[in-house]
Amino acid sequence: VTATPVTADVTEANAFARRIAGYKDRVERVLERALSLPDPGTDRLGEAMRYSVLGAGKRLRPTLVYLTGEALGAPLPQLDGPAAAVELIHVYSLVHDDLPAMDDDDLRRGRPTCHRAYDEATAILVGDALQALAFAVLAEESPSGPSAQLRLEMIRVLAAATGTSGMAGGQAVDLAAVGRKLPETAIEDMHRRKTGALIRGSVVLGALAAGVSGGPEFAGLERFGAEIGLAFQIQDDILDVEGDPAVLGKSTGADAAHAKPTYPSTVGLERARLRARELRDTAIGALAPLGHRGAALVQLANFIVNRAS
Amino acid sequence: VTATPVTADVTEANAFARRIAGYKDRVERVLERALSLPDPGTDRLGEAMRYSVLGAGKRLRPTLVYLTGEALGAPLPQLDGPAAAVELIHVYSLVHDDLPAMDDDDLRRGRPTCHRAYDEATAILVGDALQALAFAVLAEESPSGPSAQLRLEMIRVLAAATGTSGMAGGQAVDLAAVGRKLPETAIEDMHRRKTGALIRGSVVLGALAAGVSGGPEFAGLERFGAEIGLAFQIQDDILDVEGDPAVLGKSTGADAAHAKPTYPSTVGLERARLRARELRDTAIGALAPLGHRGAALVQLANFIVNRAS
């Protein structure tokens, strides 16, 4: 880190914020298109899917796809499919995790959760249909873009990040951990699956969509994604303790109320903050093979551990 | 249909039964392998997935993949992936449909349903993880077999059969129809999505895995799958009225108890039987482009409308 005048920092931060906002708008349009289903089964199902996906959310995962892909020189349209796919998987997991049988949450992204706004059966189907849609979007025919081989690899990566080795497995560990005290390594493993796998997957998909599937850049990005994914979840745990519900758009204190072991509850807030910064530094270090092309990902890594929502 | 001596019929029927039993054993081993997860999240999740998938079930959908693929000359190992994938999707839908918020069923394939044997949260995750596993299996790297382009097409077909235009959409229509009277065409549409789409998809996947993706054979098989899929569901509705719970491995009368409009409740048992046979005949007619290579699929079509379980 070199010393730069404060005004330059501010200008740079503003430019980065505009870039992120641009990705957010862009993926919103892609999602809107993907959810203009010719045949949603029932109006209620189609509506509930749109309600759950559109109009809110940080869109961190699509942003990672776009930032990574652009860093490697991919044109934006080539990144739209994977950007939408990772967000669809993310939203499906939120809808299912919020169900009464799971975390039983009433509020999400500042609005009633899907099963509250609609009903439980619809929320189960919304999640199921969003998962199928994610794979459909990724497998879509496209005249340009990565080869069929690379697209199959993208589907393998997304499936692995979604299933037992990733998100679903992590949620199972999470549920099993309720009311128990876990060692720090077990909490890390849980977080790496539950949240980390899809964040890592988003970075990997961005690389694959840019045609990069091996070599030091790819390895560095994989590592970056894995470390930043864990840092993100630790910051999430911290915000659940000390965040502002109005800024977060969801209630805080949920982890404690559910007797869920978290990073702060296991090692304390101070050590949790330290660990998040440590992981950010490792993540940034892993970007070395990209040289100056990694600059925007560095900014995102800083944003992830400094965010208030 | 030509007149043949009864003994020849019996011999032929026995040979067909052995062939079907062989496919059932084969896909069991493939599923067993797919469910030997290196990393199931928790033992409980891995166990519940195996409990739900292995050891029971007619394996109709894998059988359709194998029969179709073999009719078109594909070697069996090339059909294992799609055969397992369609069964994984089917089982995920059973596990979710049985949930208390959906059909609230206690018995499935002669055993307690997944949420009864385990718990609701686990059953939700089992379904989610099985869907991801289905796409993972289909996208798996394989040295031989269909091209990457055809495999992407298989993924598109499976995703369409699973999502709003297929199974999830059909289940939404089904739930919305509870307590209502629907016209025959609406019941057909619901069945074509809820059950028909994946059965049609199984036939199409068998064709694609054999490298056939167009032309009169492909079109005939698509039609065959669509018609036989609807016939299957009508027979299912009939068995729910007049079947033997001991043979079926599940309670009967569930549709009436849930006030679900079905084919028999809408048009009567006699017309339902007639319609199933009509659809079977159309399905068999659609196999004409395959000539004698369609013989086993004809036998399966007859089995589907004559089955007692």
Q: For B164, which of A37, A135, A148 is closest by C-beta distance?
A: A37
Which residues in chain B touch residue A45, judged by CB atoms under 8 angstroms apart?
164, 168-169, 172
pLDDT for A3 beyond 80: no
Distance CA A130, CA A60 (A): 18
| pLDDT digits 0-9 by tens, A147-202 | 999 999 999 999 999 999 999 999 999 999 988 888 999 999 999 999 999 999 99
| pLDDT digits 0-9 by tens, B142-168 | 877 889 999 999 999 999 999 999 999
A273 conformational bin, left if phi > 0, alpha if psi -120 to 50, beta if neither:
alpha
CB atoms within 10 A of CB A119: 15
CA atoms within 13 A on the CB side of B274: 5
Cβ B156–A139 below 8 Å, yes or no?
yes
Average pLDDT of A210-216? 97
Distance CA B14, CA B252 (A): 29
Say what percent of chain B tops pLDDT 70.
98
Which DSSP state fits A108? Answer: E
Which DSSP state fits A291? Answer: G
ipTM over 0.90: yes
The pLDDT score that the predictor gives to residue A2 is 53
Cβ A41–B172 below 8 Å, yes or no?
yes
Minimal-distance CA residue of chain A relative to B48: A172
Which residues in chain B touch residue A162, judged by CB atoms under 8 angstroms apart?
128, 132
Task: Let me know: does B207 contact B72? Beta carbons within 8 Å.
Answer: yes
Q: For B151, which of A44, A152, A168 is closest by C-beta distance?
A: A152
Q: Give which of B137, B164, B180, B198 to mutate to test A binding, by max A Cβ within 10 Å.
A: B164
Cβ A156–B162 below 8 Å, yes or no?
no
Task: Let me know: does B72 contact B212? Beta carbons within 8 Å.
Answer: yes
Distance CA A96, CA A113 (A): 10
The pLDDT score that the predictor gives to residue A11 is 87
Average pLDDT taken over every residue of chain B: 93
Cβ B131–A133 below 8 Å, yes or no?
no
Which residues in chain A touch residue B176, judged by CB atoms under 8 angstroms apart?
42, 44
Cβ A41–B173 below 8 Å, yes or no?
yes
The pLDDT score that the predictor gives to residue B167 is 97
Closest to B41 (Cα-Cα) out of A176, A173, A200: A173
- Which helix H or strand E contains B112, and what residues bound it? strand B111-112
pLDDT for A102 beyond 80: yes
pLDDT for B48 beyond 90: yes
Helix ranges, B163-261 (H): 167-177, 184-191, 197-209, 215-242, 245-248, 254-257
Distance CA A151, CA A165 (A): 20
Task: Let me know: does B277 contact B230? Beta carbons within 8 Å.
Answer: no
Closest to A96 (Cα-Cα) out of A165, A197, A170: A170
Cβ A139–B162 below 8 Å, yes or no?
no
CB atoms within 10 A of CB A103: 21
Q: Are strands B107-108 and B111-112 parallel, antiparallel or unpaired?
A: antiparallel
